[in-house]
Structure 1
Amino acid sequence: MSTVDAQMPGVFYRRPSPDADPYIEPGTVVQPGQTLGLIEVMKTFNEIKAEKACRVKEVLLEDGEEVDIGQSMFEVDDA
């Protein structure tokens, strides 16, 4: 098991808009470059992308939760 950690401080979002479905759910197998979530910094949205193929075990943050550099956002296993 490993984690996907924040590369910047900001506000975390699991979905592209309040009425949209989350990018991923626990159990989702993702491919390299696939969007996992967003971090908003000063009204700029930065996509969090998978670096490798993996299965998302757990999403560790809720929509609108503040995140710090190095904070774990997702637990993942190799796909």
Structure 2
Amino acid sequence: MSETTVAAPLPGIFYRKPAPDQPPYKAPGDAVAVGDTIGLIEVMKTFNPVVAEEAGTLVAFLVDDEDAVMAGQPLYTLEA
């Protein structure tokens, strides 16, 4: 098995949940399919989904919920 680190596609604030009172999209250990939403990046009040481009198992998030991220910054690790 190989691990892949997935980077932020754009700068903004990373959210792991669709809303504060909702559960996270994914948690470490969860299966991930191509097209699954992993989180959101907010840029100027616009929420852009972070969508999985590979299938596998989510190993770990490399940023915390509501952290500011830069484009190209590692977000999470996926094991294929």
Q: Deviations over 1:19-55 (max 9, x none)?
A: 1100000011111000000000000000000001111
- Aligned-partner SS, 2:20: coil
Match of 2:55? 53
Task: Indicate the percent of aligned positions where both proteins have the same amino acid.
Answer: 46
Match of 2:40? 38
Provide the rounded CA distance (Å) in 2 between the counterparts of 1:7 and 1:49.
Answer: 10
Task: Determine if the alignment matches structure 1 residue 73 to structure 2 residue 75.
Answer: yes
Q: TM-score, normalised by structure 1?
A: 0.95
Which 4+ residue blocks in structure 1 deviate beyond 4 angstroms?
none
| Gaps in structure 1 of 5+ consecutive residues | none
Match of 1:5? 7
Q: CA RMSD in A?
A: 0.6
Provide the rounded CA distance (Å) in 1 between the counterparts of 2:75 and 2:63.
Answer: 6
The CA deviation at 1:61 is 1.4
Q: TM-score, normalised by structure 2?
A: 0.94
